[in-house]
Amino acid sequence: MLAPLFTLKLKQKILPRRVTIGKFDGVNPNLACATAAGKVFIHNPFSGSQMSQSATSMSRLVTSEDLVPDLYYLNIGQQISAMGAGCLGADTKDVLFVGSQTHFLAYDVHNNSDLFYRECPDGVNTIAHGYIADCNVPLVFAGGNCSISGFAEDGEDKFWTVTGDNVCSLALLDYNQDNVNELVVGSEDYEIRVFHSDEMIAEITETESVTCLAAMNGSKFGYALANGTVGVYDRNNRFWRIKSKNQAVSIFSYDLNGDGVDELITGWSSGKLDARSSHNGEVVFKDNFASAVAGIVEGDYRRDGTKQLITCSVDGEVRGYSPANKDTSHNLMDNDQEQDLIRELSQRKNNLLLELKNYSENTKAGKEVGGLKLSATTDVDGQHMGIIPANTQLQTSLQVTTETESMPSHVQLLINTTNSTVIKAVMIFAEGIFNGESHVVHPPTNGITSALSVPIFPPKDVPIDLHVKTFVGHKNSSQYHVFELSRQLPRFTLYVQAPPNTQQPRSFVSFPVNERINRVVMWINQNFLLDEEVCAIAADTELDLRLMALRTGCPIFLHMVPGTITIHCEDIDLVGDIVQALAASLNIENMSSTANFPEFIEKLKEVLVKVDEFHNVRQKLTAEMADHSNLIRSLVVRAEDARLMNDMNSMKQSYLKLYDLNRDLVNGYNIRCNNHSELLACLKIVNQGIQKAGRLRVGRPKTQVVTACRNAIKQGDVEKLFKIIECGGA
């Protein structure tokens, strides 16, 4: 049994996912955690080095020897949303990074001074630190709303890119084994994207928001999703995943059993901590905290030359573990392997025996009813045992149904049996399309028949595997046969042929494709769920496809002549999806295109105007606030003076004024808050707009568009921005 090496009780609340460790004095590792009231505490158990010596009244650092020794507090004054630490320059000292919804702070703890303090209008959801390709200095990356920035020592953003949705997690690892790190980004739109420098080289679709990422040995990395899934990828190969009813708060890569390969350490919201083999997910160690785990880091907290695994819980309990030595490395848990193995094998044997018994009983039952007609048996015995004819089969079909008054457009999964047996219920397990992981259809007793239809509402255009389990039997059976089958829902399901008189949309994108039309036709037939197969007109020289998106009601016209595809559609998102899916299927690596989306541009223009307005309002409010705080200061002094002079009347007046002023301040604050959240929403739209423009291209041209758009926005050149969206960034 592996016991914790040390346990500390810091008696401080620790905010989940906001735990980091750094050698802030260049020598000793210190834990830094975000706690309530916008504060960060730094735990420095190595009292030899006094970092608080330089603490003055003006600095952020406050010591509090009275509460818990070795703890120092930093007042950030804002809700802290992310933490990190790392070395940025030639100096060996680590810098503490603190992110909030509006700012990014790089703080030199040892010298008690800001390294840089930057405004980050996109917010900071997560922080990562390290080297990436095409940049010779270490950067600190801040993942915000749809954007990622990489800051150098001087606070300049040397790196910037956009993603499809809010960034939840970041990791740096050598994904393609080229000896430079790639940036792996997990976001709220269920995607894991891999960036080599600012070019996206891979995209993996998961089934929920990707909340944590952890680099492991080589090209392996661990991930965790908001629905309690944890797993390990090696590049885009998933080694394993498990799903728990709890949420993984923090994941970390650490070699706990000393076998030379890192395990994936997971801290759960239930307070559980477990270590799983990166290869197959087998649990090699587990422990339990009294409250949820807040964060996992590693550092030499005992100053003995090794790095310990350090785990913090939200209640401020800290436990350190060191890797097991060789003798005990195979058995970190207090159990008897021999007995476990025997148990497992006998369980397997037992299951096989039970299955055999099932078959033999089946044959026996078959002999018993042998002579009788089946209809008779279903009446007598069928009720009880759920006997069904052996040739019972399930037929399934998928059908797109257009909107009716009671039901929005959906895909219908029709299931029916081939004889008189009935379907009691259907369970469908699929990820990403239902509220939970499953959807159940259980008709009322008087509505049970041999056919059943399940409406499915795919929320977005992704291919989905449906695992359908159907309970087949007789109306009053107490035992049912379970028919299991899988069906794949193609990527673009909710589309039908457009009615003949549909107008061609104004907006379009067109791009060169050096492929035979037949391949595109094939792709369409595989990825769309259309009533009739699509075919090219005039012997492989032209393709004209007119579709209607049922979800939005937008018509889509896809026109192809040899060499060029043109897609007409007002919905830029959808066009982007089609371009990306088509390019991936045709193995196109680089592709630029011309785009014309007047409506989209118009909207973007409005948003950009709004952004300017919000910026102005904010500046005005900030100035007002400064005025008010000056007034408050003088009023307090005046009131206090009046009190000393025993002039109660003017004191009262001063305090009344103060009260009014305070109310104004609170009001002002509320306005600022609203203003800020609206600003954030607008910025998100801008970032997503850039991303959408990028998605009309593939590979290098895509990256160029994103970078060029960013520069245009920085320079405030709106016309240039629109030009880039139209013609690409080159």
Partner 1 sequence: MEFHLSRIDLMTVGSTSLKSMKVLPNPPGKKIAQRIALGDHNGVLTCFQMKRSDTVVDFKTLPGPRIERLELGGAIGSLQEKIFISSGSEVRGFTKRGKQFLMFETNLSDTIKSMFISGPNLHITGQYIYNMYHNCQDTHFYLSCDKINDMIGIPGSGKEIFPVLGCQDRVLRVLSGSELLYEAEVPGAPETLALFDVMSGFGHNNLIYGTKDGIIGLCTVNKDNPCHRWEIANSNNLGGITAIETYDVNNDGVSELIIARDDGTVEVYSITEGQPKLITSKNVSESITSVGAGLITSPTHPDVVVATYPGHVISLTSEVKSHVAQNVISPSARSKLDDLKKDIEELKRQVLAEREKYQKSAGSDSAISAVVKFHVNDKFTLNPVDANYLLSIEIQMPIENVLLQCDVPIDLLDVERNSAVVSHSACDPEDKNYLLATYRCQANTTRLDVKVRSIEGQYGTLQVYITPRIQPKTCQLRQYQIKPLSLHRRTHIIDGERPMNALKLSGSFSLGEVHSWIGYCIPEVPDKCPSGETITMFFQSTFLDTQLECNYRQGSVEFKSDNISTISILKDVITKLATQKKIALNITYELCEDSIPHSLRLIHPKLDEQLLLAKKVQLIDALKELSMHEPNLDFLSPEYKDIIQNAEKLQAAFKLQPCHLERLYGMITDLYIDKFKFKGLNVKSKVPMLLEVLDNYELETLIDFFEISAV
113 binds partner 1 (CB under 8 A): no
Q: At closest approach, how far in Å is the CB of 599 from partner 1? A: 34
Closest CB to partner 1 among 242 and 621? 242
245 binds partner 1 (CB under 8 A): yes
243 binds partner 1 (CB under 8 A): yes
37 binds partner 1 (CB under 8 A): yes
Q: At closest approach, how far in Å is the CB of 699 from partner 1? A: 39
Pull the structure tokens for residue 274: 């477990």
Of positions 388, 565, 569, 712, contacts partner 1 by CB under 8 A: 388
Select the span of 191-199, 481-489, 528-536, 567-575 touching partner 1 (CB under 8 A).
481-489
**Could you give the strand order of the β-sheet that contains 61-63, starting from the edge strand earlier in sequence?**
19-22, 30-35, 39-43, 71-75, 61-63
CA angle 410/412/416 to nearest 5° reads: 170
* CA separation for the pair 253, 267 (Å, rounded): 12
Q: Which of residues 186-225 bind partner 1 (CB under 8 A)?
A: none
Q: At what angle do helices 598-644 and 648-694 cross, to 10 degrees?
A: 160
383 binds partner 1 (CB under 8 A): no
Closest CB to partner 1 among 91 and 381? 381
Give the list of residues 6+ apart from residue 10 with CB closer than 8 angstroms, or none.
41, 43, 68, 71, 312, 316, 317, 318
330 binds partner 1 (CB under 8 A): yes
Per DSSP bridges, beta strands 220-225 and 191-196 are unpaired
CA angle 402/189/526 to nearest 5° reads: 50
Pull the structure tokens for residue 6: 């040390």
449 binds partner 1 (CB under 8 A): no
* CA separation for the pair 509, 726 (Å, rounded): 9
485 binds partner 1 (CB under 8 A): no
434 binds partner 1 (CB under 8 A): yes
Q: Which of residues 510-529 bind partner 1 (CB under 8 A)?
A: none
* CA separation for the pair 297, 311 (Å, rounded): 6
* CA separation for the pair 12, 20 (Å, rounded): 15
Closest CB to partner 1 among 484 and 599? 484
Q: Which of residues 44-73 bind partner 1 (CB under 8 A)?
A: 64, 66-67, 73
* CA separation for the pair 120, 101 (Å, rounded): 8
* CA separation for the pair 147, 686 (Å, rounded): 10
Q: Which of residues 222-241 bind partner 1 (CB under 8 A)?
A: 228
Q: Which of residues 538-567 bind partner 1 (CB under 8 A)?
A: none
Give the list of residues 6+ apart from residue 440 with CB closer than 8 angstroms, or none.
425, 426, 427, 428
326 binds partner 1 (CB under 8 A): no
Closest CB to partner 1 among 90 and 390? 390
Of positions 369, 625, 632, 661, contacts partner 1 by CB under 8 A: 369
394 binds partner 1 (CB under 8 A): no
Select the span of 100-108, 279-287, 391-399, 722-730 touching partner 1 (CB under 8 A).
391-399
Closest CA to 597 of 573, 579, 581: 573
Q: Which of residues 344-363 bind partner 1 (CB under 8 A)?
A: 344-362
375 binds partner 1 (CB under 8 A): no
Select the span of 33-41, 88-96, 673-681, 712-720 touching partner 1 (CB under 8 A).
33-41
592 binds partner 1 (CB under 8 A): no
Q: How many residues bind partner 1 (CB under 8 A)?
A: 86
404 binds partner 1 (CB under 8 A): no
451 binds partner 1 (CB under 8 A): no
Of positions 440, 485, 537, 637, contacts partner 1 by CB under 8 A: 440
Q: At closest approach, how far in Å is the CB of 388 from partner 1? A: 5
Q: At closest approach, how far in Å is the CB of 336 from partner 1? A: 5
* CA separation for the pair 100, 108 (Å, rounded): 17
Determine contact, residues 699/591, Cβ cutoff 8 Å.
Answer: yes
